[in-house]
Structures are given as C-alpha cells and as structure tokens.
Structure 1
Amino acid sequence: MTSCVRKIVIVGGGSAGWITAGLLAAKYPPMHAGGLKIIVIEAPDIPIVGVGEGTWPSMRSTLRAMQIDEWDFVRACSVSFKQGSKFCQWRRDDPTDFYYHPFEMPLGFREGNVAESWYENSSGASFSRAVSSQEALCEAFRAPKLLTSPGYAGFSNYGYHLDASAFAGYLRNHCISKLGVKHISDTVIGLAVQDNQDIASVETQRHGVIEGDLFVDCTGFKALLLGGHFEVDLMSVKHILFPDKALAVQVPYREEVPVQSTTISTAQPAGWIWDVSLSSRRGIGHVFSSDYMSEEEAVESIRKYIDWDETHFGELSVRQLSIGSGYRRTFWKQNCVAVGLSAGFLEPLEASALMLIERSANMIADNMPASRHAMEIVARRFNERMHSLWESIVQFLKLHYCLSQRNEPFWKDNRAPDSLPLALSESLRLWKEQAPRTADFEGRDDVFPIASYQYVLYGMGFEVKPNLRGVPASLRAFSEQQFELVRRRTEQLLNMLPENRQLLDYLKADQRE
C-alpha cells in the first residue's frame, strides 16, 4: 500500500455502506483528478435489518449532497414526511398523556431562553405547542410543505419516514449509475494484513483479492473487520438502557386514513411501541426488556395496539431482533473504520441510527486523510468525537425513561439513581434549580441541543424551583412576543398546508423530471 490514500473499500452495503459511498463519491468524484476509487463489496441475499425507518432533518442535506432528487426519492422509497416524535403515556399510564419533541427549535431560541418565561406562566399550553407550530401541525396530520414547494424546501423543519429496504436499493442504484461507485456482489471470506497490521486486502469468493488503502466496515452486527479481525469489543450500556429485544411488523393500511406527520412512541409496561406511517403502510414494533416481559407478552401488546383480531394478526410476519445496546471502544483502528451497526447500536428511540451513519460518513469525508501518516491523527480525533457523540445519545435516551411516573417495575428501576449516567444525574440536579441554559452544553459534541432537553423535560412534567431572582422583565416581554408569533404562525400554517396524505398522493401522481 502506498502512503497516499486513494482507494476506499467499503465492506457491506445497506444504508450504512451506500450513504458512506455516496457522500465520499460526491465529495471526491472518482472520475476527477484528486478523486477516490470507491468500491462497495456487498454480500448477496443479506437481509436489511430495516428498523431505521425514521430520519432526522439532516437526511435532507445528505440526499442533496449525494445529488438525489427529493421527489424521485419520495416515490421510490414509500416516503412520508416527519416533523418530530410524539410520546404517549411515558409520563403516566393514561391514554390522554402525551408530549411532542418537534424538529423545530423554539421560536426566538437564539435570542432568549423562552423556557424560563413559559415555566413561570404556561397558561395551560404545553411547552412544545407554546414555542413551535409543529405539535398543532402533526395533530392535524399536516405536511411541512405545499404541493408547489420545491425539493428539500418546507415551511417547517422535516425529515422522513421511509422503507429501509427500498432505501438501501435506491441508494445502491444511484451510487452506481450517477456517482461512479464500483459495486461487487460477493462475500468476503478472508483478509490479508501488512507488517504494521493494517489491512492490505480482503478476499472474496468469486472476485478474488481486493486491495485498498482505507477499509470501511459496514457489515452490521457481525463487524467482520473491526470486531472480527481487530477484536475491538462493544461497551455495553444495558445497565443504563434496559431494552434488549424488539419485534417489528409491517402493517398495511386497511382503509384510507391520514398519514401521521410524526413518529408515535407509546410506552408499555416494559418498554415502548413505535408507530411509523409510510405512504404505503405502517411500520410498528415493540422495544422491550426481556428481564421484565416475555416475547409472547410483547407480541400480544402489538396485537392490542393495532387492534386486530388474532386471526388477521396471525397473517402478519413479526420479525424478532436482539438489541445489544452499546458501542465500540474504538471506531477507527489502523486503516479500518466502522460505520452503522458495526460501530454499535442503541434502541431506536429518537431515531438516531441513520443520523449516526450520516454523521460518521460526513466526518470521514470531511477529514479524509491524504496519507497513511495523516490517518493516525484523523483516526484519534474521529474516535474522540464519536465517543462523545454516543455518550450524549445514551444520556438523552435515558432522560426519557428516568422522568417517568409509571409504576411498573421496569419504569421504577429506570428511576434508580445507579442506572443514570453521572453527567445526566448532575444535570438533573442543576435543572431542578434553574432551566437548562446554553452554557450547560458548552464544550460538548452533543447532537441534542438545549431545546431537545427542554421538550422532554417539560413534556414529562419535570419540576423546576421558582427562579429565585425572578424572570427578567425584558425576557418576559420577549417571550410573550414569541408565544404570540407562534400562535399566529400556527393558525396561518394550518390554513395553508395540505394533509400529509394529500401531498404524498400528489407527488406519487406527479411524474415531473
């Protein structure tokens, strides 16, 4: 291997492999000077895990960077538009209990911390409804854009619900036909190393030896390169995030019903059920802890949730998944870096799986080492940032559980002090005294900003002591102005925006180029 990094070999396809390939090929076009030669080796007939059916708004930037037309993507992958997450019965076991974590920042977020004024005088409105229009839009099944809106543009921030299997196939075709990525359909059966223990090449069943300068492990839970060859183990976080099982089922629409503009997460005695509305079907699953619930009980919970009789429910195929919540001690070792499930996996609450793929792939592309010598520093920095990222996600996911007032053993144990990360426990003590502030997040590579914590804290009824100094009059006046602007904007958008299904039906019928 020469010192110059020119040939990237991605082992494994799926969303991780093809997003990585697409972002690299778009930034370093193989046909241009200074470009990279990018090869994806994808084993045939390996099923897609298919749990990651929800994205963050960041996916819009990712698709745009890969030169993908939004309308084409929407039609090809059964896409619907997502504007946040709705959490039902997480605070208490009450059908009327819910709160939203919308994708929009509170209006006026950068000019002042309106949470302090809201908490002092909420006037009965939930925090998310007071500071954003998206709760009202989602409750009315509204889309984030008009029928005439251009691709990737909207009146409110949005991501997607998508068919994960169709998405992987769509990305594959795009990367091969439009971005010059070489695709090898074959199975890796071995590898060779250099004297310095770098991977020199991988051996495939039918295409022989394939050399590379940098190898990206996208082989899923097997982690064939990083976990198998380099023996980098997973650091489990099961003592923090208890769920270790998931059941997933695809549910057809039985009639013409509104398409949800939000992922719905409904708490259960030992976990929670996700409900994702695509344009063509629903994706439903139950995340649970086998220490508190049997698989049979979890299946029955899904049946009751979708309200189907046993005969018709028996016609559905329920897939079983294991959740080994944790992440690698090292993500980039020697000339091998893991992306996707090979790097780790956390339960799908807050849909972080695809976001982590995007973040990892972008980080690799933005910091692509010019040489093997430069790779040492790039790898160290990558590992530091990724560890910080995973730790922050674990902390934010735990926040949802530890604030619950439910009385089942699963939820009681989630409130146990020894199950909380130290940083979260400290923050909660601080936030009892004062509302979360931007300063609380300085110096952290945290994908969840202060607003995300506020949405969950106040949605779950977290109590803060009265501000001992009082809310400054200037902040109170500013906040009231923002609350009124939200009320006006909400009314305007509800009158203007179509329902999600109406927009999707229009896009499906519209064969524009």
Structure 2
Amino acid sequence: MSHRVNQVVIIGGGTAGWLTAAVLSSQLQSTNKEAVQVTLVESPNIPILGVGEGTWPNLRATLKQIGVSEAEFMKGCDATFKQGALFCNWMKSVNEQTHQYYHPLNTVFHSSYEFSLAPYWLLGHSERSRYDHAVATQSLVCEAGLGPKEKTTPEYQAVQEYSYHLNANKFARFLTKHCTEKLGVKYIQANVLKANRDGDDYVTSVTTDSEQYDAICGDLFVDCSGTTPVLFEQTYHIPWVDISDVILNDTAIAMQVPYADPERDIASHTIMTAQDNGWIWDIGLYNRRGVGHVFSSKHTDIKTAEKQLRDYIGQEAEGLTARVIPLKLGYREKFWHKNCVAIGMSAGFVEPLEASAIYLYDAAAKMLADQFPRTRESMQYVEEKFNRSFNMRMIRTIDFIKLHYCISDRDDSAYWRDNCSNKTIPKALQQRLLHWKEHPPTKYDFDNAWEPFNLDSYLYVLYGMKYQTSLAHNQDGFIYSDKAKAKFRDVSMMADKLVTHLPKHRDLLKKVYQFGFTKI
C-alpha cells in the first residue's frame, strides 16, 4: 500500500518559509481540496533575521507565477530595482584612483556561451579599458542613475535585466498575507517542540506548544527553522559542513539609515566597498538605505568594525542603532533526508556578498515543487537528485564568493593576505585559476545547467579585478576580430541610446508607487 503525500508542513516562516509556501501552494494548487495542502507553522516569538535585501532576476518569474502584482509587491516591501553590484576598493588604488567595477545582471548582443568577447577584449580589440563597460550596457546605465525599464514597460518585463532590493521583514509579511488569502496556505502560530517519527524513521507529526494544535500531522516536512533547525539538527542530527576556513567573514553589523534628503538619487545596484578586514554593503530602498559591515572577527573586533561602518555612513549614522549578526557559515551534508527537506538558513549560508541566499531558497522551493513526490515510495529518487543538485550549488557558490577575495592584489592587512593564501582557497578553484592564466573561462568550465553563477559572472569578476590571462600562445586562434569589434561597437551604441531614453531610477519608482505598471 503506497503512502500518499498530500500534506506538506513547513516549519518556520521568514523569507525562506513563506517563499517555499508560495511556490508549493501555487504550483501544487493547494486551494483545491483534492490536491496538496500546505501548512506553515511559525513561532510567534522568534524574530525574523530579516537582512536579506538583495535578490536575483529569478524572483521576478516567481512573483509572477504565484500571482503577485509587481507594483503591489514593490509598494508593500519598499522595493527598488536592482541591476547588479558595484565593487569598490577590492584592488589597490592606482594613482589615488579608487578601483571599481560592476557585476551587472545582463550582457547585450551576445552570450559568452555562444561567442565570447572576453579574449578579444584581452587582445585589445575594444576601445574601452574596463571589461564591464566593453561587453555590457548596464554598467553605464547604473552610473547614469537610471532605471532598468521605461515608465510604460509592463510589469515584470525589462529593457535591462533586473531584480529587486527589498525590506526582508516586509517581504515575509507580504508573502504571509498573499499565501493565506490567495493561495490557501494554512497558517499556525506555535512553537514546535519536537518531531515524532514512525518505525521507518519518517517524521509523521510535530508537537507544538499550542493547545489547539498539539500535534500537526504531515506527509512531507520542510525545515525553514533557521540556524538551529528542528528537524535537521535537533531530530536527525545531519552534520554541518563548516566553511570558515575558506570564507573568513563570520559577523555582520547592520544599520537602517533614513534618507536625509527624500529626493536623493537611489542607486539601482548594490554597492560593496572593501575594508581592511571585510566589506560594507549599501542598498538603497525606497525610504531608507540598508548598510552593513561584514567582517572577520578573527582579524578585527566589533567596536572597530562598527566605527568603520559609521565612518562610511557619515553624519546620517548619528543616533542610529547598529545590530550585530553572527554568521553561521556552511551547509548540511544532506538537504533532504527521509521525508524532510531543509531550505533557508537550516540548509546553509555562505555570506551575503552576491545576494545568493534568497536565490537558493527560491531554487530549492522550485525544484521541490517540480519534482514533488506524490508517494513516500518515490521519495528516495527525488532525495538523491535534490542532494546532488544542492551540494553542487553550495560548493559552486563558495568558489565564486571566494574568487572575489583570492585574486585581489591587496596585501595591506592579514585579512587580505589570509584570503589570498592557498590554504584558504578550495583546490578546484585553484585549478581553475591556474588554467585561466592562459585560457579565459569558456562554456567548458560550466558543465552543469544549474550552476548558480554562470560564465558571464566569472568573466565580470575576473577581468573587473584585472586577472592576468595571457593569450600569447594561441592569440592567432581568435580569428573573429572583425565580428568582435562590431559587437563592441553595438554595445557602445546601445549604451548611448539607453542612457538617453531610460528614466532616472527615482523618477521610475515614483511612477510605479503612484500609478503601478502598464497592464499587458
């Protein structure tokens, strides 16, 4: 007799829990009583961490899928548009000029998988000295303070690829309302005390402190209960893979900074400014900035890190409270065990440098929904696929984050010297970097369709940070210089056009907040 999977119980709210609930309920049609029912259990007295304010473009597709109005989402979450990230001071200054480059969200007129402009840029066939300026328009759009679309562009459609900056606490509340009112998610506020298992070691229910919901039964459980997860740590004791020997930052100090001038420009990119022992993020929301210092407590102390943060912010930091956030770095050896799936901080966390957290939550929820096992007997196959996929995604995320540090030429502190030491660089990344000294990255370096960071992302960081790739041994093999020069010109022409026609970011936001988007 098969064990049907009809009841999904999500333990924990926040962005991870409610995003998972939204994806599962919308895709599995939990408003239909004959289909899967999603229940979310959230503690009424454990606060949401709420610092994940950067997202990836995949969130647009998810919001559209779950039936959310883009304008209502933005207004409800103080959201702004995000077109990429600007990295400052990650290399030594030259002639007192601060080093900086963008990791934008899109390229124009080419995909590096089909025809890479990187070798032709290395060979000097572009008139632009910066790689991000040569191959993409978006850096120039960001520098001009412009938005990613016209005021008349319909919701979720783009002129330039984009995602969002958002208030994570408001986003969780927005999803709570949408899931319970529109998607049929059952919401229970209670503390989960323990999990109850059957003879085959599958969880059958969780016991809570609620008199009304003493035991909540389910067929599949999703653990979104944070850094001390109820199921994966307290019940199954799934080991944690510590990565603090690779990713050195283990603490963050965050501040919410109101705008002194309500009409000031809002950057449509995250600003990451390197410090002596870490880096500072600067994110512009509609009514405030989210600013924080991520650092290594082995290389500096909280008092010094907070002073650097306040010095960065300036007068606007006066009187503001700073919140200290310990970062638990690593991931689970397994992300799916028996009939339990870990999503969110319970599954793993690298650090916020490339805003990968919400992306990984969303990717996990979508894979769970797409591969949803309708019987217990079919779970093992899905479990193995899920574990392979997210083990790969975590390892690749760690490699990409580490890339930003280990190719820097900064040696002004023990922090930067330790980050560049081979002792802290994964062997696979060392091998890639050695190969890339004579071969720019190509599609052959990315053989998994679900890698979180693609070829273009690596190229932006490598050559934004002036990684030295010599093509002396095979430069005659790059025979399409005329084609490359034409594409470089196309990028420049399109950049000029976009800079002329796209609206200022704040002007676009005002229109969205007041009138919404054009309906399709």
**Range of TM-score over shorter length:** over 0.9
Alignment correspondent of 2:258: 252
Q: What is the aligned counterpart of 2:120 among 92, 107, 117? A: 117
Matched, 1:306 2:313: yes
Contact 1:114 1:475 in 2 (8 A): no
Alignment correspondent of 2:99: 97
Q: 1:482 to 1:227 in 2, by over 3 A?
A: same
Alignment of 1:404-415 (within 5 A): 404-407=408-411, 408-415=413-420
SS in 1 for 2:247: coil
Alignment correspondent of 1:377: 381
Q: What is the aligned counterpart of 1:266 among 250, 273, 281? A: 273
Equivalent-residue separation in structure 1 for 2:31 and 2:449 (angstroms): 38
Q: Which amino acid aligns with 1:270?
A: N
Q: Which amino acid aligns with 1:336?
A: C
Alignment correspondent of 2:159: 155
Q: 1:75 to 1:384 in 2, by over 3 A?
A: same
Contact 2:25 2:31 in 1 (8 A): no
Greater shift in the superposed pair: 460-469 or 139-148: 460-469
Equivalent-residue separation in structure 1 for 2:405 and 2:64 (angstroms): 35
Alignment correspondent of 1:431: 436
Q: Percent identity?
A: 38
Q: What is the aligned counterpart of 1:164 among 142, 162, 168? A: 168
Contact 1:112 1:475 in 2 (8 A): no
Equivalent-residue separation in structure 1 for 2:505 and 2:45 (angstroms): 34
Equivalent-residue separation in structure 1 for 2:307 and 2:79 (angstroms): 28
Q: What is the aligned counterpart of 2:458 among 453, 461, 480? A: 453
Alignment correspondent of 1:236: 242
Equivalent-residue separation in structure 2 for 1:495 and 1:126 (angstroms): 21
Contact 1:275 1:284 in 2 (8 A): yes
Number of positions where the alignment pairs a residue of Structure 1 with one of Structure 2:
510
Equivalent-residue separation in structure 1 for 2:155 and 2:216 (angstroms): 39
Let me know the Cα RMSD of the aligned residues. Answer: 1.5
Deviations 1:99-153 (A, max 9, x none): 1100003531243111000011043431111111110011111100111111001
TM-score by length of 1: 0.97
SS in 1 for 2:5: coil
Give the C-alpha shift of residue 438 in structure 1. Answer: 0.6
SS in 2 for 1:307: helix
TM-score by length of 2: 0.95
Equivalent-residue separation in structure 1 for 2:130 and 2:108 (angstroms): 12
Matched, 1:128 2:135: no
SS in 1 for 2:372: coil
Alignment correspondent of 2:217: 211
Alignment of 1:318-397 (within 5 A): 318-397=322-401
Contact 1:13 1:218 in 2 (8 A): yes
Matched, 1:470 2:475: yes
Give the C-alpha shift of residue 476 in structure 1. Answer: 1.1
Deviations 1:41-84 (A, max 9, x none): 01113222122100001110111111111011011100000000
Q: 1:178 to 1:412 in 2, by over 3 A?
A: same
Give the C-alpha shift of residue 446 in structure 1. Answer: 1.5
Q: 1:106 to 1:433 in 2, by over 3 A?
A: farther
Q: What is the aligned counterpart of 2:290 among 267, 274, 283? A: 283
Unaligned runs of 5+ in 1: none
Equivalent-residue separation in structure 1 for 2:467 and 2:421 (angstroms): 16
Alignment correspondent of 1:48: 48
Q: Which amino acid aligns with 1:16?
A: A
Give the C-alpha shift of residue 30 in structure 1. Answer: 1.7
SS in 1 for 2:41: strand
Give the C-alpha shift of residue 467 in structure 1. Answer: 3.9
Equivalent-residue separation in structure 1 for 2:259 and 2:369 (angstroms): 40
Give the C-alpha shift of residue 2 in structure 1. Answer: 6.2
Q: Which amino acid aligns with 1:356?
A: L
Q: 1:69 to 1:471 in 2, by over 3 A?
A: farther
Q: Which amino acid aligns with 2:214?
A: G
Runs ≥4 residues deviating over 6 A:
none
Alignment correspondent of 1:227: 233
Deviations 1:209-265 (A, max 9, x none): 110000000101121111111111210111110001000110001012100010000
Give the C-alpha shift of residue 472 in structure 1. Answer: 4.4
Equivalent-residue separation in structure 2 for 1:91 and 1:235 (angstroms): 30
Contact 2:108 2:491 in 1 (8 A): no
Give the C-alpha shift of residue 471 in structure 1. Answer: 4.7
SS in 2 for 1:60: helix
Alignment correspondent of 2:300: 293
SS in 2 for 1:56: coil
Equivalent-residue separation in structure 2 for 1:511 and 1:444 (angstroms): 35
Equivalent-residue separation in structure 1 for 2:481 and 2:33 (angstroms): 57
Greater shift in the superposed pair: 82-91 or 120-129: 120-129
SS in 2 for 1:30: coil
Unaligned runs of 5+ in 2: none
Q: Which amino acid aligns with 1:57?
A: P
Alignment correspondent of 2:80: 80
SS in 2 for 1:221: coil
Give the C-alpha shift of residue 95 in structure 1. Answer: 5.4
SS in 1 for 2:241: strand
Equivalent-residue separation in structure 2 for 1:234 and 1:452 (angstroms): 28
SS in 2 for 1:368: coil
Greater shift in the superposed pair: 377-386 or 92-101: 92-101
Contact 2:232 2:342 in 1 (8 A): yes
Give the C-alpha shift of residue 33 in structure 1. Answer: 6.7
Greater shift in the superposed pair: 446-455 or 390-399: 446-455
